[in-house]
Chains A and B, each alone.
Chain A
């Protein structure tokens, strides 16, 4: 009765190896990238469950086959043609490393480019890793605005109460929301709600 249960989250060794392999491939190839999503979030707020790796990356078209080939050599499940086509045509493609899901997205709107530009560096597992700034994560989460994103934005605001560049966030929001978009009022409400520690 020891058959593997693939509905379970990945274990530590797999997540570690997937993360190390992804980041070292990006670093070796000098890719302009930022880790986003839950893995980036835990660097800014608190540890919550997340088991996939999301990255935003800017890669010249000519460099895409080489990148995906390098990822395949590192152990990622790659379908070269499909991944290159999806990344170009959809702006999004998914890979696997054992049971870890990796989602790669290209900056499709100027806001995503600004998120890349504002990424910070941190040493994780002995490697320099480009990670989205807290403001960048807030902007990306305001675009998606699923329930988990809303909770994450509040956590980010709590973590950096009074220290965030909210003008950047609002300026970016202006580019993707109309004046009466409810996300604007919601964001202002959360800023107020989280600005009083304890």
Chain B
């Protein structure tokens, strides 16, 4: 177990090292490249599409949870009174 965990941690540290050597724009473009690669490699069949749809729905639910959390903060009157809203 430990060697695998160690390898995982080392891989993350290497990814961090690589990213730290990039400029902010290069980091953003690296994300774009990653998304392009994900699009290109994504299976196109109906099952794969359905899996992605379920993932999107889960994220939408996540967003609704965040909205609900924010609503509760507003309702609790926790809003910081300041110049803005």
| A residues at B contact (CB < 8 Å) | 5, 7-12, 15-16, 19, 32, 39, 42-43, 45-52, 58-61, 64, 86-92, 94, 101, 103, 105-110, 112-113, 122-126, 129, 131, 144, 146, 155, 158-159, 197-198
Contacts and interface: CB of A to CB of B under 8 A. Distances in A.
B85 A59 contact: yes
B37 to A, nearest CB: 10
A162 to B, nearest CB: 14
Contact of A9 (B35, B78, B80, B85): B35
Contact of B74 (A51, A59, A90): A90
Contacts of A92: 66-67, 70-71
Interface in B23-63: 23-25, 27-36, 38-39, 42, 44, 49, 52-53, 56, 59, 62-63
B13 A197 contact: yes
Contacts of A59: 84-85
Nearest to B71: A90
Nearest to A112: B80
B10 A158 contact: no
Contacts of A94: 63
Interface of B: 10, 12-13, 15-16, 18-20, 23-25, 27-36, 38-39, 42, 44, 49, 52-53, 56, 59, 62-63, 66-67, 70-71, 73-74, 78-80, 82-85
19 contacts: A8-B52, A12-B29, A12-B35, A15-B32, A32-B84, A42-B30, A46-B18, A47-B15, A49-B34, A50-B31, A60-B84, A86-B67, A92-B66, A103-B63, A108-B74, A108-B80, A109-B78, A113-B80, A123-B24
A91 B73 contact: yes
A131 B24 CA distance: 11
A159 B16 contact: yes
Given A42-B19, A60-B83, A129-B24, 20 more contacts: A7-B52, A8-B39, A9-B39, A11-B32, A15-B35, A19-B28, A32-B84, A46-B12, A46-B15, A47-B30, A50-B31, A59-B85, A90-B70, A92-B71, A101-B63, A108-B80, A109-B80, A123-B25, A131-B24, A158-B12
B70 A91 contact: yes
